[in-house]
Structure 1
């Protein structure tokens, strides 16, 4: 019987493979870097009457080593895909042109068409002009339409004073991997300059940020301020951040694992933030903590004795006009998953807190919870990893709700950065001191080359670290933080196959993937009965190879891997049926998988 089933599977797969296909050549346009404005002329001009894309499947290819002067923002109603030429030179740079009146753009891209697919790969977007002047209140990308499937990978975003990505559209899918967000800050507004800021409430379908580096930014590197179905912040490195790395307190399905936070909330908070009415608006800030969670609360000390108010959890994001109804908020189905994150404040920052608080004579008139005013010394409240109120919410409300909560192995660990990276703390401390004394006037860029334009390549910072314990401390056994700083581990992570148990199977087997149908990722289990080469490949329904998951020698054992719905180039594939094939010298099998979006 097994032989019959195997023959049927092989016949089915062979028929799919043999099906005639019509393969269209890719529509690639190579965009020249000159004259200034050519990139926006070419892309903005590729439209039909009404402004929608004339060629929605077109790929725009930019040349590595070149600088593209942008004279007006790319305003996109539909799909957009940008790639770079092959090579190891600096990615193509998008920079603000200096216009005849000495002005410049204040953002680079705006997406206004619903249901579009956006893929940006290997670009360097910089907010510095050729005269080394930074843009004013600037954004990199504005997403202003609903249901956009947005992917950005292997890119660098440098110098933005408001945010790199502003999300205003509902139900978008964010896939942000292998990027660097650096030097995003505003000289006089310390809440200006970060990687990602979503409106409130803005619902997100998926919100995945994996293997990114955040280096020398002011605030708001990850945002989840609306109903969410799946939010992941994993294997990211965040080094030097002035305030609020996150806006996440009411997230519904939140996974924050295997990250490194180093001086990531350096200012902490002052009495205005902690005591005054900021608490009800931004408890992330007021509590001076990095990880935040809030639930429906009318009984705690904070709700009754301090604020005389009911705190809102995810139910605060009910928005029927945008498809979020009350029945979608199920407290027992909430997920708070915080595991294996490392936190560290260097000694210089701790010493600064002590010295400043011991000597400051500044005081502010603060609005107290009872409505009165009080004169309070302007001390700094050092940040914590998880605030007292967040921990109380986890231990009481979420526990009583039966929510899926895992908070474990979040430790204080010094990664051991290089001398050059460690020295940057002095610039951040000087900035925090200016904030605290009202003398703010200059940003605190990491700028060893003393010039931002054109950007240096390779990047001058190296955030690989020497702490060997941290190099295998992830839930997956890999290093904490962005694995791109450990290339060998990153390569292994990309093809990671986990061993399941020690019992040796007697037969080969490919199990049905689970979940199936799936979105965005599915698990795959298989058994190998004897040592030999194992090839695990995903094909589309036409028999065309989509992705090689594994192709190497394996010993006998039971294994598990996963597929995240991307092809060999890291691009997300369309919804539909896919074929999972395993091939060894002695065994072949195929399973159907269904990807739903």
Structure 2
């Protein structure tokens, strides 16, 4: 996908919206009747003559649970959003249910609620609750979303997912642009007899997942994932411009079996203002089920919460040819102004009496004894293996160990997890706990999500972490702590610093009547952001003047300079700082 264009109208418009598609109503409410499968049937049947979605937005009713029997497959741009809900109400909820024969009808791997396809399409999912447990309690769904195609834009905002089995959001598409903001993913269920495979978002390459041109991860809460929170392969971003990184900012990570990211990759990532509680919660150094491996790659002292291990040379011919190879001597991974802690329950597990076992005698009759030490030395920010990467572009500064505690989440959640973990660690098999349901359920009902979630992810306002982020406020998701500095996502009054000069895809797109346009400035600059029609005529100037470094968001209400509403059609919006110009297209639908 083209990221920038030197001249305003050098953009070749290869994909035009049909006249019929531009004239349809903007939003379709998916009326709840209680019928099984009505959600996917309504959306997938609502297409125009050319096969594209007939509506731009599909709105689900609050206080209702839509029972979904099969995957929603999307081939063209649209949004699926939940209606607003108030105190004492519940968000629009989506829950799987098996077929009449009792078997899951979610075909293909990975089995999830939604799959997106197409090229240069825009998909958004907002204000929804996904319950991963099948309505009959028989099993759980793998994840929420898997993406395919090329050049698509994916936005997930204010979405809660509960009880998913493995990976919530899975990128298989190429050159995608992802935004993950204000989401909550908790109480992963895992799969019977399994550990270590799963997480919140996977992608970035690796030969089998997709690739991303941009990825913003901000203000999310992730609890109970059974692998890494993120698996970001290879170089992180493809078609990357100088200075461009994946920003992982103001997130709360809790009770994660492994690490924030996959320890081999994750290049070009910036981790700022995050809270890490009970990371690397498996505590394991060796595995009796496979005595030839050590889970900490022979670093039996553990490699800490920010595991970043040696990365081999990039030899992939495709990556070499298109310039997307990684530089293992310049990883460009930084951790700044984060805070971390382990609760007493996890520290107790780390300090427990180790399991030991004898290996089969070798040819000389020598028997070697190995022990899974579970040593408390696991509880550290960075191990020797990670610190050895400092010479290769791994940076850390001003990260806080929360020795003052003050964590408010009920310890029953980590205790439920460590009970399952100990059941596994003695012999690599779940002998006692053999079903999907790892998580503690406060009300005892694993089928229905208790709302609001009975999980308190806040900490004491007197904690050092409450003033530790880059703008002087609390680290972690802003949804759990008061931010006296007034932090606002997608703006920059308080220190969320952009990494490059960039123009984002507008949201929503297509839109009616208004849309938001965000742009990044890596330094203070005189900029102009204007709207043009397809004839090259200026329609509206949104801003023209000096802006500070940071992330800025402006709204266009679909009106011209005279205050008149413009007609349906495709428009260009252009950002210029005097030396660089970026142009993107958007569609107004009425």
Assess same fold via TM > 0.5: yes
User: Quick check: 470-479 or 279-288, which moved more?
Assistant: 279-288
How many Å separate the matches in 2 of 1:341 and 1:334?
19
In structure 2, the residue matched to 1:174 is 178
In structure 1, the residue matched to 2:200 is 195
Change (3 A) 1:417 1:273: farther
Instruction: Give 5+ residue unaligned stretches, structure 1.
Output: 1-22, 296-310, 500-512, 528-535, 550-557, 581-589
How many Å separate the matches in 2 of 1:239 and 1:410?
17
In structure 1, the residue matched to 2:77 is 79
Residues 334-377 of structure 1: CA deviation (Å, up to 9, x unaligned)? 412111221211123222222232xx3x4264999xxx994412
SS in 2 for 1:196: strand
User: Quick check: 217-226 or 119-128, which moved more?
Assistant: 217-226
Residue 515 of structure 1: how far off its partner (Å): 5.6
Residue 547 of structure 1: how far off its partner (Å): 9.8
In structure 2, the residue matched to 1:421 is 410
How many Å separate the matches in 1 of 2:499 and 2:228?
35
In structure 1, the residue matched to 2:112 is 107
What value does the CA root-mean-square deviation take over the aligned residues?
A: 4.1
How many Å separate the matches in 2 of 1:411 and 1:544?
46
How many Å separate the matches in 1 of 2:149 and 2:296?
26
How many Å separate the matches in 1 of 2:218 and 2:230?
11
How many Å separate the matches in 1 of 2:218 and 2:233?
19
Residue 431 of structure 1: how far off its partner (Å): 1.7
Decide which of 114, 122, 129 is 1:117's aligned counterpart.
Answer: 122
Residues 29-60 of structure 1: CA deviation (Å, up to 9, x unaligned)? 0001222211100111234689x4243x6111
How many Å separate the matches in 2 of 1:95 and 1:158?
10
In structure 2, the residue matched to 1:390 is 386
Residue 109 of structure 1: how far off its partner (Å): 0.9
How many Å separate the matches in 1 of 2:178 and 2:408?
35
Residues 213-268 of structure 1: CA deviation (Å, up to 9, x unaligned)? 01222222112113323212111101112224421533331111111111121112
Residue 319 of structure 1: how far off its partner (Å): 4.9
Decide which of 545, 550, 560 is 2:548's aligned counterpart.
Answer: 560
SS in 2 for 1:217: coil
Decide which of 154, 157, 163 is 1:159's aligned counterpart.
Answer: 163
Matched, 1:251 2:266: yes
Give runs of aligned pairs for residues 398-547 of structure 1, distance below 5 A: 398=392, 403=393, 405-414=394-403, 416-417=405-406, 421-437=410-426, 438=429, 439=431, 440-442=433-435, 443-466=437-460, 467-489=462-484, 491-494=486-489, 495-497=491-493, 516=501, 518=503, 521-523=520-522, 525=524, 540-541=531-532
Change (3 A) 1:515 1:393: closer
User: Quick check: 329-338 or 242-251, which moved more?
Assistant: 329-338
Decide which of 202, 209, 212 is 1:204's aligned counterpart.
Answer: 212
How many Å separate the matches in 2 of 1:255 and 1:367?
48
SS in 1 for 2:471: coil
Residue 273 of structure 1: how far off its partner (Å): 9.1
In structure 2, the residue matched to 1:231 is 246
Residue 329 of structure 1: how far off its partner (Å): 4.1
How many Å separate the matches in 1 of 2:275 and 2:229?
13
SS in 2 for 1:355: coil
Change (3 A) 1:83 1:546: farther
Residue 118 of structure 1: how far off its partner (Å): 1.2
In structure 2, the residue matched to 1:28 is 27
Higher relative contact order (CA 8 A, sep 6+): 2
How many Å separate the matches in 2 of 1:209 and 1:244?
16
Residue 469 of structure 1: how far off its partner (Å): 1.9
Q: Judging by fraction of residues, say which structure has more helix.
A: 1
How many Å separate the matches in 1 of 2:485 and 2:157?
15
Instruction: Give 5+ residue unaligned stretches, structure 2.
Output: 1-21, 238-244, 505-518, 533-537, 558-569, 586-590
How many Å separate the matches in 2 of 1:41 and 1:547?
43
Aligned residues: 500
Change (3 A) 1:367 1:352: farther
Instruction: Please say if residues 265 and 288 of structure 1, whose CA atoms lie closer than 8 Å, have aligned partners that are also in contact.
Output: no
Matched, 1:266 2:281: yes
Could you tell me the TM-score, scaled by structure 2's length?
A: 0.73
Instruction: Please say if residues 141 and 166 of structure 1, whose CA atoms lie closer than 8 Å, have aligned partners that are also in contact.
Output: yes
